[in-house]
Amino acid sequence: MFRTKKLNGFTWYLFWFLAVFLAVFCVDIMYVVWPYPGGANGIEALRSTLEYERELIFSLSDDRTLGIINNIGYWLYQIIFVWSGLDGLMRTAANPVPLDGANEMMRRFILSNWVFLETAAYGLQLFALRLGVLVLALPLFLITMLAAGIDGITTWYKRRTSADRETGFIYHRAKRAIELIILAMAVVYLIPPIPLDPRVIIPAFAVMLGLAARVQVAYFKKYI
């Protein structure tokens, strides 16, 4: 019987990042094909979400942070569309001049699946925009976890100088909770194709990460 190797560390984060990235595309397709009642129709639903969040983020950012966000979007587009050749195929297919042989067949195939490619393009821009916001929010997460961890040292020191029973159960659960909170933040903020305000989502998850970090430090092993 084969045993599946447990993912941990960088491999765990990489696996779930790719899973979230694929989920973004699938959800975007569903959103475009079956838009919510009363909202925009088709690709316009996704485009309006992108325009709303882009205006919101740009109004809250300066030139330096906008440069970071734009660079993330640029490189993601280069890797997924340009390096794969999709960008060139879409530009060729958009040209109304008929082609010869296999090139014309490829052009018709691209045009028949245009909605999926266009959705992927807009979805990638939205994903890159939100990913850039999360990257810029890293200092907030780190400072919150550091401050909470320092507060947890007090509880850890009291445990070390008292007769409390040593247990690693809470420590390991808190450590796992940090990973799950990061995953939940990615799911909540990166996947939905509806307009979201990072000023509501990011502080909430920063607090949760801080609480998990405090518990983890507080219940670290008593004797080092």
Domain closes at, from 74, 107, 134 = 134
Residue 11 lies in a domain: no
Q: Which domain holds residue 123?
A: 16-134
Q: How many domains does the chain have?
A: 2
Residue 4 lies in a domain: no
Residues 154 and 187 reside in one and the same domain: yes
Distance CA 223, CA 157 (A): 10
Inside any domain, residue 8: no
pLDDT in tens, 100-128: 767 777 777 777 778 888 888 899 999 99
CB 190 within 8 A of CB 24: yes
Same domain as 119, residue 20? yes
Q: Please identify every stretch of the chain with a pLDDT value under 70, giving residue numbers as ranges.
A: 1-9, 35-41, 96, 98-99, 101, 162-168, 221-224
Rounded to a whole number of angstroms, the distance between the first and last alpha carbons of the chain is 39
